[in-house]
Amino acid sequence: MGNMERAGFVGYEMSAAGAPLRRVERPLRRLEPHEALVRVAGCGVCHTDVGFLFDGVRTRRPLPLILGHEISGVVEDAGANHGSLVGSAVVVPAVLPCGECALCAAGRPTICRRQVMPGNDCDGGFATHAILPGRDLCRVPGGDGNPDEPLGAVAGLTLRHLAVVADAVSTAYQAVVRSGLGSGDLAIVIGLGGVGGYAAQIAAERGAAVVGLDVDTVRLEASATSGVRFALNPASLPSREIKTRIAEFASGIGTSNTGWTIFECSGTAAGEKAAWGLLVPGATLMVVGFTLESVEVRLANLMAFDARALGNWGCTPALYPEILEKVLAGKIDVVSHTELRPLARIESALEDVRARTARRRLVLTPQESVDRAEASA
């Protein structure tokens, strides 16, 4: 296969928490048999990246490190095990399990101890290229080497937009699938940002009645486009009043006031407390967001309500093909919830995500002309 000699590639490297990212060049080394070289079409900016850069969350591989785990692109080269991937448009699962250990064999790939998360265990997608395990890269049907070529049945959809499938969409999808949510059920999504907005969409697509909670009035006003039927700002109501209003909504549409499915996607202590306060008999609480903050809850409520609480880490690669099928068919809308920005504007993008002022999921797109201009500046 290729393993061609190249000058290297450009990326933005984190050297220390709180320090500005550094524009660096990485050599394109010879690929190992299990690896693939992906030319990045787009890489989404996630709150996990902000956690690494600003909040003291540690990466598993020591710094310096190129962040970014929400990647779509084209395989330019591959080691001996994955030669058939060369030329394919792919989405890179945010969690790449080894596929060989006892946990993988037992159907628990998301807790594989040898998993690789780009931008955490190895250099990630805030770069023009990334060297990654090739085993679970998900081919994009109809995709070719042009990242701006229209895809699927959705106007404006390109390979660049599919970067959000790598985490924001897929994490939400697995959480909904694992919850057992069905048609006619009540789903409550707390935090309608990147992952939460997709959780609402996916829950609605499965036929659930979706309630959305967010402290951002702009998100609440736009939440109907994500399938939310009843929207509330929890900051303006006492916690008991929130539960009462949701119960009234459920009764009004003929949905049960037991067995609610609650998705905590805000990644905040306030969101976690609100989620716990919404437990009802037979409820399922899916913890999808992450925060370093702690909350105090009465754990016995799980017993009293015969409820359950589940965490959700990433998404098994096995689900990606069906997720892509839904996105390409327009059943999950990513275009109107995504904003493309040049990779050279990475610092402002991270600040916007940190300040929660980004109204759509930001996807950074490497552009050679931008990179050359920046290099000569």
| CATH assignment at residue 88 | 3.90.180.10
Of 284, 311, 338, which one is at a domain's C-terminal end?
Answer: 311
**Does the pLDDT value for residue 6 go beyond 70?**
no
Q: How many domains does the chain have?
A: 2
Of 311, 345, 365, which residue sits at a domain end? 311
- On the CB side of 14, how many CA atoms lie within 13 Å of its CA? 30
pLDDT at 377 over 70: no
> Quick one: pLDDT band at residue 236, thresholds 50, 70, 90?
confident
Based on the fold, state whether residues 341 and 331 are members of the same structural domain.
yes
Shared domain check, 141 and 29: yes
Average pLDDT over residues 318-325: 98
Write down the mean pLDDT value for the chain.
94
**Looking at the structure, do residues 176 and 155 belong to the same domain, yes or no?**
no
DSSP 112: -
Q: Name residue, tokens 């967001």.
A: 289
Q: Could you give the percent of the chain with pLDDT greater than 90? A: 91
Q: In the structure, what pLDDT confidence band is assigned to residue 368 with cuts at 50, 70 and 90? A: low
- Measured N-to-C along each axis, helices 346-354 and 47-54 cross at an angle, to the nearest 10 degrees, of 100
Domain boundary among 291, 311, 331: 311
For residue 29, what are the contacts with CB-CB under 8 A and spacing of at least 6? 131
Task: Assign residue 269 the CATH number of its domain.
Answer: 3.40.50.720
One domain for residues 157 and 172: no
| pTM score | 0.94
Domain that holds residue 124: 9-167+315-376
Indicate whether 260 pLDDT > 70: yes
Count of CB atoms situated within 10 Å of the CB of 352? 18
